[in-house]
């Protein structure tokens, strides 16, 4: 009963849209509902990344603590997004702090359990890697765009074209 | 034959309101008793006395009062910064082709704004909010640098009340910002977009290229995608050459273009 | 038919009709343009030599008065002044008043306009008239201008008017057109009229009608001129240049040679770009805006939050593709008339016809 319900929840999440039945069953078996209050951490920089999260509602900020500047928010993860790729990258440690900005409902997926299965289940590996690559590409592009600081006023102040 | 060269019309400054540290809005009404007709997306050449003219898009149209939201970046705009209520300012325009508001009617609308690019889009959102039943689902994606550079906050509330889905995202987080942090393409990517919606994009050229890319990947019809191109328009009448973009004179053929018309040009460096 | 010894009759008639006469004059070793009063003022017995980045005038003792082509000056300064006031503004406390300048238009006869330059005048007129037909200062000036065209008899090595369909003889766009027939034994002009005012002037000259012999001699001049033209340009390839080769590596090699001096834009008879310059009096009460010639080779010519064309290659591409290709989309025709000035007066000797051929993979018209 619980598995069935997790199956539905996962199938309804945008990250796992159009997931095959077989893969869905495996993923669902590793999932667990979690709730976080504002201010609560979903992950801490440097700690073991044994999970990733599907955000069903709420907002999570990815933060890095900078001496003298406090916690800088580098990006937020929104309802419908996936949080966490560190469980796929060897050494498996969280890179940023992840903290709930609003009340968060999420599905936590057991990365250790899925990691083991990836090696001998090409269909699962393909599904997960291709979905994560798409998300990472979006975020990388977004980060590169933001590096340009394109909305700030032009340096050349002789120009009157903003 | 005696022929007078074109010159600015005198407009009276009705209101000045600060938006950001370097950005403010002036509302102008004709001082010569004649009417002025402007369409969303058009621009005017505003004349700062003795300093020159700068192309400024119309950021609100209210009968004969035209708002212009200006950022002080050069000699002319710094000159315009000195204007106070009751002053006269010279205006030539309105010039150019604006947003396709009429053809949007009856369908869904996606508006993507970057930074000051929200200003030329505000008259469109005003129209939508005022005549809400004429349009289907309306989504605004507004990306800006940070909390401190967020424009038109009162309007964002009004539009939300008018059932416009307002998504604001900032490049840089700050302690006073509880909303999304990221680039504007990210909420766009995550959103459900009706493939037959009309999309209007205005912002820095790079942002427009990437936002257009995201929308097209999501299946939006390129014929329904429109961008507002930024160039140093000087004459407004296609005669000075400054605002050329390949085959186009942006002041005359734009500033709003269909995506298909300009996508090749935008891909060529230093065009 | 106008015998050369009666040429002053033409000039006198034009002057009497109220026209200031402007024509070719030899100054500082260059065929320039200036006010002339008599046939004596024309550069007689001289020829010019043109090559990329090269120009010489030499006396060759030839009997003709128009045995050369165009100098670096084009007629555009007379219709589109390098500097003109647009408006003045007066400020009194909060009130600002604007007054548009009424440009001084004088009746002027342009004497000895080549086919290429006749075509250039028409092209500029279309540019300035496109936005608000009938309202341009250019149009007003042109309405006061009397054009006396001259058919080219000795095209230069840089000429390619035949490719652009603008010469060596003018078909239209003139009031009067002359063909000069000059040899050791005879010297006369055959006239064609191109407008009502041209016919009015011609009537006052009480000319001897041209015989068949005269007319044949005149058409032989143009026929010979066509054969003398060495350069060519593939007009279709030119039109497609922007679409076909926006990122051709050749732009980089041109960019390496080009000094971005803007000479080509200044001497080009169709280049129309301008910028506005503002001045204010020291007491801050009066201001003025002027229109001055600009050049797409200036670094800050195009801005979009910053300099659009930082590389010289991109500026040359802008100039050349605008001239040959995108002018079609903007104004419905090519912006080039094949006068060759941009080739002659380029200090780096960049040759637009050669560059096009290199990119289009086409040598153009055979030499």
- pLDDT tens for chain C, 367 residues: list them: 999 999 999 999 999 999 999 999 998 889 999 999 999 999 999 999 999 999 999 998 889 999 999 999 999 999 999 999 999 999 998 899 999 999 888 999 999 999 999 999 999 999 999 998 988 999 999 999 999 999 999 999 999 999 999 989 999 999 999 999 999 999 999 999 999 999 999 999 988 899 999 999 999 999 999 999 999 999 999 999 999 999 999 999 999 999 999 999 999 999 999 999 999 999 999 999 999 999 999 999 999 988 999 999 999 999 999 999 999 999 999 999 999 999 999 999 999 999 999 999 744 334 3
Query: How many C-beta atoms lie closer than 10 Å to residue B117's C-beta?
Result: 26
Task: Name the residue ranges covered by the structural domains of chain A.
Answer: 2-147
Which among C228, C255, C271 is the end of a domain? C228
Using alpha carbons, select from B243, B222, B89 the residue that is nearest to residue C273: B243
CA of B90, closest CA in chain C: separation in Å?
A: 8
* Torsion B258-C319-C130-C294 (CA) sign: positive
Q: Do A161 and C300 touch (CB under 8 A)?
A: no
Residue B63 and residue B176 in one domain = no
* Euclidean distance between CA atoms A161 and B157, whole angstroms: 29
Query: How many C-beta atoms lie closer than 10 Å to residue B102's C-beta?
Result: 8
CATH of the domain at B22: 2.40.30.10
Q: Do C300 and A162 touch (CB under 8 A)?
A: no
Contacts of B179 in chain A (CB under 8 A): 59, 76
Residue B47 and residue B19 in one domain = yes
Q: Do C96 and B268 touch (CB under 8 A)?
A: no
Q: Do B183 and A145 touch (CB under 8 A)?
A: yes
Residue B238 and residue B199 in one domain = yes
Q: Do B49 and C242 touch (CB under 8 A)?
A: no
* Euclidean distance between CA atoms C323 and B195, whole angstroms: 40
Q: Has residue B2 been placed in a domain? A: no
Average pLDDT over residues B220-227: 97
- Burial classification of residue A65, based on how many CB atoms lie within 10 Å of its CB (0-12 exposed, 13-18 middle, 19 or more buried): exposed
Chain C CB within 8 Å of residue A159 CB:
yes
Residue C58 and residue C184 in one domain = yes
Contacts of A78 in chain B (CB under 8 A): 180, 187, 190
Residue C123 and residue C269 in one domain = no
Answer yes or no: is pLDDT of B217 > 80. Answer: yes
Chain A CB within 8 Å of residue C299 CB:
no
Q: Tell me what percent of the residues of chain B surpass a pLDDT of 70.
A: 99
Number of domains in chain C: 2
**Contact of B170 with A58, CB cutoff 8 Å:** no
Q: Do C272 and B9 touch (CB under 8 A)?
A: no
Q: Has residue C346 been placed in a domain? A: yes
Query: For chain B, what is the HEC assignment?
Result: CCCCCCCCEEEEEEEEEECCCCEEEEEEEECCCCCCCCCCCCEEEEEECCCEEEEEEEEEEECCEEEEEEECCCHHHHHHCCCCCCCEEEEEEEECECCCHHHHCCCCEEEEEEHHHHHHHHHHHHHHHHCHHHCCCEEEEEEECCHHHCCCHHHHHHHHHCCEEEEEEECCCCCCCCCCECCCHHHHHHCCCCCCCEEEEECCHHHHHHHHHHHHHCCCCHHHEEEECCCCCCCCCCCCCCCEECCEEHHHHCEEEEHHHHHHHHHCCCC
Q: Residue B244 is part of which domain span?
A: 101-267
**Contact of B74 with A158, CB cutoff 8 Å:** yes
pLDDT of residue A159: 57
Is residue C145 within a helix (H) or strand (E), and if so which, with residue range? strand C145-150
- Give buried/exposed letters for C34-65 (b at 16+ CB in 10 A, else e): eebeebebbbbebbbebebeebebeeeebbbb
Interface probe with B: pick from C308, C314, C326, most Cβ of B within 10 Å: C308
List of residues 6+ apart from B25 with CB closer than 8 A: B15, B16, B17, B19, B59, B60, B67, B68, B69, B70
Contacts of A162 in chain C (CB under 8 A): 305
Chain A CB within 8 Å of residue C307 CB:
yes
* Torsion C294-C300-C301-C305 (CA) sign: negative
Residue C108 and residue C64 in one domain = yes
Chain B CB within 8 Å of residue A143 CB:
yes
Rg (CA), chain B: 18
CA of C271, closest CA in chain A: separation in Å?
A: 24
pLDDT of residue B103: 93
pLDDT of residue C61: 85
Residue B55 and residue B149 in one domain = no
**Distant-in-sequence contacts of C248-253, Cβ < 8 A, 24+ apart:** C248/C359, C250/C355, C250/C358, C250/C359, C251/C313, C251/C314, C251/C316, C251/C317, C252/C313
Which among B58, B73, B95 is the end of a domain? B95
* Euclidean distance between CA atoms A65 and A52, whole angstroms: 21
pLDDT of residue B254: 95
Residue C224 and residue C246 in one domain = no
- For residue C106, the number of C-alpha atoms closer than 13 Å in the C-beta half-sphere is 11
Q: Has residue C341 been placed in a domain? A: yes
Contacts of A73 in chain B (CB under 8 A): 173-174, 177, 181
Tokens of B178: 């509880």
**Contact of C292 with C203, CB cutoff 8 Å:** no
Residue B124 and residue B194 in one domain = yes
List of residues 6+ apart from B136 with CB closer than 8 A: B106, B107, B108, B109, B194, B197
CA of C155, closest CA in chain A: separation in Å?
A: 45
What CATH class is the domain A2-147? mainly beta
Contacts of A102 in chain B (CB under 8 A): 178
Residue B148 and residue B222 in one domain = yes
Residue C42 and residue C149 in one domain = yes
Tokens of C66: 């128009």
Answer yes or no: is pLDDT of A2 > 90. Answer: no
Query: How many C-beta atoms lie closer than 10 Å to residue C30's C-beta?
Result: 15
CA dihedral A102, A107, A108, A113 (to 10 degrees): -170
Using alpha carbons, select from B24, B19, B28 the residue that is nearest to residue B47: B28
Tokens of C167: 């010469």
Chain A CB within 8 Å of residue B258 CB:
no
Chain A CB within 8 Å of residue B217 CB:
no
Chain C CB within 8 Å of residue A162 CB:
yes
Residue C170 and residue C68 in one domain = yes
Residue C181 and residue C299 in one domain = no
Interface probe with A: pick from B21, B45, B52, B74, most Cβ of A within 10 Å: B74
The vertex-B52 CA angle with B46 and B57, nearest 5°, equals: 25
Is residue A108 within a helix (H) or strand (E), and if so which, with residue range? strand A104-110
pLDDT of residue C364: 38
Q: Has residue C365 been placed in a domain? A: no
Chain C CB within 8 Å of residue A158 CB:
yes
Residue B58 and residue B171 in one domain = no
Number of domains in chain B: 2
Chain B CB within 8 Å of residue C323 CB:
no
Residue C121 and residue C20 in one domain = yes
Q: Has residue B82 been placed in a domain? A: yes
Residue C210 and residue C276 in one domain = no
Sheet containing strand C20-27, strands side by side = C2-3, C187-193, C176-182, C145-150, C108-113, C20-27, C30-35
* Euclidean distance between CA atoms C121 and C194, whole angstroms: 15
CATH of the domain at B167: 3.40.50.80
Chain A residue with CA closest to C304: the answer is A161
Answer yes or no: is pLDDT of A157 > 80. Answer: no
Contacts of B9 in chain C (CB under 8 A): 98
Residue C283 and residue C347 in one domain = yes
**Concatenated DSSP letters for C192-231?**
EE-SHHHHHHHHHT-PPPPPHHHHHHHHHHHHHHHHH---
pLDDT of residue A158: 53
Tokens of C56: 């010489």
CA terminus-to-terminus distance, chain A: 59
Using alpha carbons, select from B69, B96, B83 the residue that is nearest to residue B10: B83
Chain A CB within 8 Å of residue C282 CB:
no
Which among C228, C263, C297 is the end of a domain? C228
Using alpha carbons, select from B70, B94, B99 the residue that is nearest to residue B201: B99
Contacts of A158 in chain C (CB under 8 A): 300
Q: Do A161 and C304 touch (CB under 8 A)?
A: yes
Q: Has residue B3 been placed in a domain? A: no
pLDDT of residue C94: 87
* Euclidean distance between CA atoms C181 and C66, whole angstroms: 10
Q: Has residue B167 been placed in a domain? A: yes
Q: Residue C348 is part of which domain span?
A: 235-360
> pTM value?
0.93
Residue B153 and residue B237 in one domain = yes
pLDDT of residue C206: 81
Chain B CB within 8 Å of residue A78 CB:
yes
Residue C89 and residue C184 in one domain = yes
Q: Do C304 and B240 touch (CB under 8 A)?
A: no
CA of C298, closest CA in chain A: separation in Å?
A: 14
Chain B CB within 8 Å of residue A59 CB:
yes
Chain C CB within 8 Å of residue A156 CB:
yes
Chain C residue with CA closest to A152: the answer is C305
Bridge-based pairing state of the strands A41-43 and A97-100: antiparallel
Q: Is it true that the peptide bond before C168 is cis, omega within 30 degrees of 0?
A: yes
Q: Tell me what percent of the residues of chain A surpass a pLDDT of 90.
A: 86
Chain A CB within 8 Å of residue C306 CB:
yes
Residue B191 and residue B138 in one domain = yes
The tokens 């060897």 sit on which residue? A90
Contacts of B181 in chain A (CB under 8 A): 61, 73-76
**Contact of B111 with B144, CB cutoff 8 Å:** no
List of residues 6+ apart from C13 with CB closer than 8 A: C201, C204, C205
At B116-161, the pLDDT tens digits run 999 999 999 999 999 999 999 999 999 999 999 999 999 999 999 9
Chain A CB within 8 Å of residue B73 CB:
yes
Residue B57 and residue B161 in one domain = no
Longest dimension (CA), chain B: 66
Residue C214 and residue C313 in one domain = no
Q: Has residue B40 been placed in a domain? A: yes
Contacts of A156 in chain C (CB under 8 A): 306-307
Q: Is it true that the peptide bond before B94 is cis, omega within 30 degrees of 0?
A: yes
Query: What residues are paired with C34 via a beta bridge?
Result: C23
Note the ipTM here: 0.94
Which chains lie within 8 Å of chain B at 3 or more CB pairs, if any?
A: A, C
Rg (CA), chain A: 18
Q: Has residue B4 been placed in a domain? A: no
Contacts of A159 in chain C (CB under 8 A): 300, 303, 305-306
Q: Has residue C79 been placed in a domain? A: yes
Residue B182 and residue B261 in one domain = yes
Residue B254 and residue B139 in one domain = yes
At A36-76, the pLDDT tens digits run 999 999 999 999 999 999 999 999 999 999 998 889 999 99
Q: Do B50 and C278 touch (CB under 8 A)?
A: yes
Query: Could you tell me the pLDDT band of residue A154, with boundaries at 50, 70 and 90?
Result: confident
pLDDT of residue A155: 63
């Amino acid at each position: 009963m619980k598995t069935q319900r997790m199956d539905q929840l996962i199938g309804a999440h945008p990250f796992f849209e159009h997931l095959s039945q077989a893969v869905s069953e495996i993923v669902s078996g590793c999932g667990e509902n979690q709730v976080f209050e504002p201010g609560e951490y979903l992950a801490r920089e440097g700690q073991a990344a044994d999970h990733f999260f599907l955000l069903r509602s709420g907002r999570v900020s990815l933060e890095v603590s900078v001496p003298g500047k406090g916690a800088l928010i580098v990006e937020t993860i929104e309802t419908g997004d996936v949080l966490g790729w560190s469980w796929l990258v060897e050494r498996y440690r969280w890179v940023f702090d992840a903290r709930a900005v609003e009340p968060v409902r999420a599905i936590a997926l057991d990365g250790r359990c899925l990691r083991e299965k990836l090696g001998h289940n090409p269909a699962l590996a393909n599904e997960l890697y291709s979905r994560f690559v798409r998300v990472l590409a979006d975020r990388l592009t977004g980060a590169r765009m933001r590096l340009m600081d394109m909305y700030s006023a032009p340096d050349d102040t002789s120009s009157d074209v903003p | 034959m005696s022929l007078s060269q074109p010159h600015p019309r005198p407009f009276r400054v009705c209101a000045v309101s600060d938006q950001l540290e370097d950005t403010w809005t002036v509302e102008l009404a004709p001082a010569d008793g004649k009417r002025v007709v402007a369409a969303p997306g058009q621009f005017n050449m505003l004349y700062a006395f003795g300093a020159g003219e700068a192309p400024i898009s119309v950021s609100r149209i209210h009968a004969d009062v035209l708002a212009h939201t200006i950022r002080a970046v050069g000699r002319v705009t710094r000159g315009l910064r000195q204007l106070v209520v009751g002053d006269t300012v010279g205006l030539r325009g309105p010039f150019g082709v604006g947003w396709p508001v009429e053809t949007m009617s009856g369908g869904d609308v996606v508006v993507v704004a970057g930074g000051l690019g929200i200003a030329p889009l505000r008259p469109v959102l005003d129209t939508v909010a005022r005549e809400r039943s004429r349009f289907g689902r309306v989504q605004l994606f507004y990306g800006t640098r940070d909390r401190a550079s967020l424009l038109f906050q009162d309007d964002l509330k009004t539009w939300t009340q008018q059932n416009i889905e307002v998504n604001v995202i900032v490049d840089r987080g700050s302690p006073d910002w509880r909303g999304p942090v990221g680039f504007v393409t990210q909420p766009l990517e995550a959103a459900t977009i009706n493939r037959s919606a009309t999309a209007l994009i205005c912002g820095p050229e790079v942002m427009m290229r990437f936002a257009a890319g995201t929308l097209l990947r999501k299946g939006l019809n390129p014929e329904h995608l429109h961008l507002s191109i930024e160039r140093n328009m000087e004459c407004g009448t296609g005669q000075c050459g400054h605002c050329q973009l390949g085959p186009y004179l942006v002041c005359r053929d734009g500033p709003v273009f269909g995506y298909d018309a300009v996508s090749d040009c935008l891909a060529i460096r230093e065009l | 038919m106008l015998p050369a010894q009666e040429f002053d009759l033409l000039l006198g008639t034009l002057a009497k009709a109220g026209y200031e006469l402007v024509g070719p004059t030899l100054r500082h070793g260059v065929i320039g343009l200036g006010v002339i009063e008599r046939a004596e003022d024309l550069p007689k017995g001289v020829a010019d030599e043109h090559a990329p980045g090269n120009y010489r005038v030499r006396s060759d003792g030839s009997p003709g008065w128009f045995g050369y082509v165009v100098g670096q000056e084009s007629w555009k300064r007379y219709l589109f002044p390098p500097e003109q006031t647009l408006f003045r503004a007066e400020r009194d406390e909060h009130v600002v008043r604007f007054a548009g300048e009424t440009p001084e238009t004088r009746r002027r006869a342009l004497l000895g306009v080549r086919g290429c330059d006749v075509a250039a005048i028409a092209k500029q007129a279309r540019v300035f008239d496109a936005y608000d037909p009938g309202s341009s200062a250019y149009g007003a000036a042109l309405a006061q201008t009397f054009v006396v065209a001259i058919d080219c008899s000795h095209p230069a090595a840089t000429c390619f008017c035949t490719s652009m369909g603008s010469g060596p003889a003018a078909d239209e766009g003139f009031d009067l057109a002359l063909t000069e027939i000059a040899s050791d034994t005879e010297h006369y002009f055959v006239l064609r009229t191109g407008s009502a005012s041209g016919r009015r002037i011609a009537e006052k000259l009480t000319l001897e009608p041209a015989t068949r012999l005269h007319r044949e001699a005149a058409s032989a001049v143009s026929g010979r001129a066509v054969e003398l033209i060495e350069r060519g340009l593939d007009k279709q390839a030119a039109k497609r240049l922007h679409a076909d080769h926006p990122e051709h590596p050749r732009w980089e090699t041109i960019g390496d040679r080009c000094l971005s001096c803007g000479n080509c834009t200044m001497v080009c008879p169709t280049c129309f770009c301008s910028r506005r310059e503002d001045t204010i009096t020291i007491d801050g009460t009066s201001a003025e805006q002027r229109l001055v010639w600009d050049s797409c080779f200036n670094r800050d010519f195009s801005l979009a939050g910053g300099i659009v064309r930082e590389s010289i290659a991109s500026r040359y591409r802008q100039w050349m593709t605008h001239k040959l290709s995108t002018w079609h989309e903007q104004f419905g025709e090519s912006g080039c008339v094949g006068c060759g000035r941009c080739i002659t007066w380029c200090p780096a000797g960049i040759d637009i016809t050669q560059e096009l051929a290199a990119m289009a993979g086409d040598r153009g018209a055979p030499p």
